[in-house]
Amino acid sequence: MVPERASVDYFNTKYVENVKFNVRRNGRKSVYIVNIEATIKHAWGDNISLHVSMYELLQYEYKPTFVEFHFEHICKMLNSDPLIGKALLDAAAKAGITTCPVPPKHYILANMSVAFANFPYVWPFEKAKGIGIILHGKTVIGKGSLYMRFLQK
């Protein structure tokens, strides 16, 4: 998976502020990485859920697919999911986050990449957009998009 660009579409200032979400490379020949930066105002634990829906690029338009990830408890996702959870857990460890729930303060989750090399199946499409929604109960905390390419081997 090669991330191409990222955007923050919405964030609730009651829960978070100073939110940044971007894709970059450290050097000309290096891999693309994802960075997330935010100040959280309340502790985040199993009261937070993450929902990701994938959209496939078909005829210059992103259309919904059958691929969706629903994580009802963020702490359980960090410790059990081999793709998104592992990428977030590795970045969290580098940022000094060692416990869940995560206490409120400013965090920078840098140099994240998803290990799709170990993904046991062929990905069903080449270009995609993932829309992620972070919820506290039914309240939307944030919404962002990540555009990506999948390299088939």
Mean pLDDT of 98-105: 91
Residue 121 pLDDT: 67
- Token representation of residue 85: 């959870």
Collapsed DSSP state (helix, strand, coil) of residue 127: strand
Neighbours of 54 (CB within 10 A): 20
CA distance 115 to 102: 24
Cα–Cα distance for residue pair 134/119, rounded to 1 Å: 24
Residue 117, pLDDT score = 64
Note the Cα 114 to chain centre separation in Å: 9
Would you give the end-to-end CA distance of the chain in angstroms? 11
Q: Is 114 helix (H, G, I), strand (E, B) or coil?
A: coil
- The DSSP secondary-structure symbol of 75 reads H
With bands split at pLDDT 50, 70 and 90, how would you rate the model's confidence at 123? confident
This prediction's pTM:
0.89
pLDDT at res. 54? 94
Domains and CATH numbers, the chain: 2-149 (2.70.220.10)
pLDDT at 114 over 80: no
The mean pLDDT value for 39-67 works out to 94
For residue 102, what is the DSSP state?
B
Asked if 114 contacts 84 with a C-beta cutoff of 8 angstroms, the reply is: yes
pLDDT digits (tens, 9 = 90+) for 81-95: 888 888 888 898 898
Residue 107: per-residue pLDDT: 94
Higher pLDDT, 29 or 134: 134
